[in-house]
Amino acid sequence: MSDLVVRGASVWRDAGWVDEDLRIVDGVVASEGGEPPAADQVVIDGAGLLAAPGFIDLQCNGAVGIDLASEPERLWELAGLLPRWGVTAWLPTIVTTPPEVIERALATLAEGPPPGFAGATPLGLHLEGPFLAPGKRGAHPRPLLRSPDGAAASGWSRPAGVALVTLAPELDGALDLVRDLVDRGVVVSLGHSAATADQARAAVEAGATWVTHLFNAMAPLHHREPGLAGVALTDERLHVGLVADGVHVHPDVVRLAWRALGARMTLVTDAVAALGLPPGEHPLGRATVVVQDDAVRLPDGTLAGSALSLDQAVRNCAAFTGCTAGDALSAASAGPARVLGDSGRGSLRPGRHGDVVLLTPALEVVATLVDGRIVHDAR
C-alpha cells in the first residue's frame, strides 16, 4: 500500500482552508482517522504552503515546442511536462485539421502511457473544429472547415476518447449533431460562432453545456442582440471557458465576467507550442505564429491561442477580479471537473483522486502530485 502525507499545509476543502494533514493512500485522498500510516509513508513538508486540487486544463493545444495538431503522437510527452504548471489532468486539444490527425490522436490516447510515464492524466480529446463558422474561424484554416456532418463525427464518443467538441450552433445540422454527441457522452461547447442569442439558446436546449473562450471568436455582446456571449453570461446551464491572459480579454472585462459567472467560470489556457518558449516564431498546425508581448498571433495579427500557463491564469484571475485565492483555484479545478462530469477530481475530499498542487501564498507552483505520486517538485 502506498501512503503519502502532506504535513503543515493549508488545504483547500471546497469552500474554505483547513490546517490539517492531507493523506493519500493508493492514489486516493484518505479520511482522517483511517488506517494507521504505513511504515514506508512518504512525508512532504508543506509548512507555509497551500494544498489545492490539481488543475484541469480543458483546452491545451501544445507547449514547449510540441504542437498536437501536427504531432499528436507527442501527446504523452506533453502530458509529462504540464505538471510544472500545476496541471494534473487535461484535454489534449486538436484544432481544425485533416481527419487523419484526429485518428492519430485517438490512437495515441488509446495506446496509453509509455513505460515509466509520470505526468498529467489525459481525460479525452477536445476537438475544436472543424464545424466552425468561417467568419469566426480565428486561426483555424478556412479550407478545412466544414458543415456539421454526422457521418464525419460518427466515431466520436466518450468511450472512444472524445471528451469535448467545440462547434458553431448556427450552422445547418448543428443541433442534430449536438444531440447525437451528448447521447454519446461527449460534452458540447459553443464557440467560433456568430450565433444569435436564440441560436445559442437552441443549442443549450439540445444539450450544449460549455462555451469556448468567452468573447473570443464570437459575435460581440450588443444590448439589442446579446448573441452567444450574452447567453453565456446569463444562462445558468452553461459553464464558460475564459483565457485570462489579459490579451484575449481585457482585465476589466474578466472582472465583469467573473461577477456574472462566479463558479461557472472555468479558466483555460488555449496554450500552443509557444508556451514555455522564448518570443519568436513557432508552429501551430499548418501555420506559423509569432510570440511577442505575451501574445501569440498569426502574421496578420490574428490571435492564435496563447502562451499562458494555467497557474498564471489562476494568479491573473485573482489579480484581475479581486476574487479569493480559493475561488481562483476552484476555477481551474472544481469548475473544469464539473464541466466533464468528473466527480473524482477537482476536490480534496476523501475518496477523490490524490491530484494535488502545492503553492506558495503567492500561488506559485512548488510541487504537483498525480494520484498521490510526486511528478514535479521545484525544490
Q: Is 245 inside a domain boundary? A: yes
pTM score of the predicted model: 0.96
Which residue out of 3, 270, 311, 327 is catalytically annotated? 270
Domain assignment present for residue 91? The answer is yes
Domain count, the chain: 2
* Shared domain check, 80 and 45: no
Verify that 30 and 67 share a domain, yes or no. Answer: no
pLDDT tier at 139 (50, 70, 90 boundaries)?
A: confident
Same domain flag for 117 and 174 = yes
Please list, residue by residue across 279-306, b when 16 or more beta carbons sit within 10 angstroms of its beta carbon and e when fewer do.
eeebbbbebebbbeeebbbeeeeebbbb
Q: What pLDDT is recorded for position 138?
A: 86
Is 39 found in the same domain as 8?
yes
Domain span including residue 16:
3-51+350-377
Q: Is residue 275 part of a domain?
A: yes
Indicate whether 1 pLDDT > 70: no
Note whether 229 and 132 are same-domain residues: yes
| 28 and 170 housed in the same domain | no
Using the CB atoms, write b or e for 76-101: b if 16+ within 10 Å. Answer: bebbbbbbbbbbbbbbbbbbbbeeeb
152-173 pLDDT, tens per residue?
A: 999 999 999 999 999 999 999 9
Does 345 fall in a domain? Answer: no
Q: Are 25 and 167 within one domain?
A: no
Same-domain check for residues 245 and 119: yes
Q: How many CB atoms within 10 Å of residue 222?
A: 11
Instruction: Judge contact between 216 and 243, C-beta under 8 A.
Output: yes
Find the helix packing angle between 251-261 and 310-321, rounded to 10°.
Answer: 80
In a domain, 333, yes or no: yes
270 C-beta neighbours (distance < 10 Å), count: 30
The per-residue pLDDT for 38 is: 64
User: Are residue 45 and residue 103 in the same domain, yes or no?
Assistant: no
Count of C-beta atoms within a 10 Å radius of residue 350: 13
Is there a domain that residue 118 lies in?
yes
Residue 354: C-alpha distances to residues 53, 77, 79, 116, 121 (Å): 8, 22, 17, 19, 12
- Same structural domain for residues 154 and 303? yes
Q: Is residue 138 part of a domain?
A: yes
Q: Do residues 10 and 106 both lie within one domain?
A: no
Report helix, strand and coil shares of the chain as percent, to nearest 5. 25, 30, 45
- Quick check: 113 pLDDT over 50? yes
DSSP string, 356-370: EEEE-TT--EEEEEE
Task: Examine the residue annotation and report whether 294 is marked as an active-site residue of this protein.
Answer: no
Specify the CATH number for the domain of residue 232.
3.20.20.140
- Same domain assignment for residues 44 and 166: no
CATH number at residue 47: 2.30.40.10
Instruction: Please write the tens of the pLDDT for every residue from 33-49.
Output: 555 566 678 999 999 99
Rounded to whole angstroms, the Cα distance separating 136 from 3 reads 50
Give pLDDT tens digits for 243-293: 999 999 999 999 999 999 999 999 999 999 999 988 988 767 667 888 888
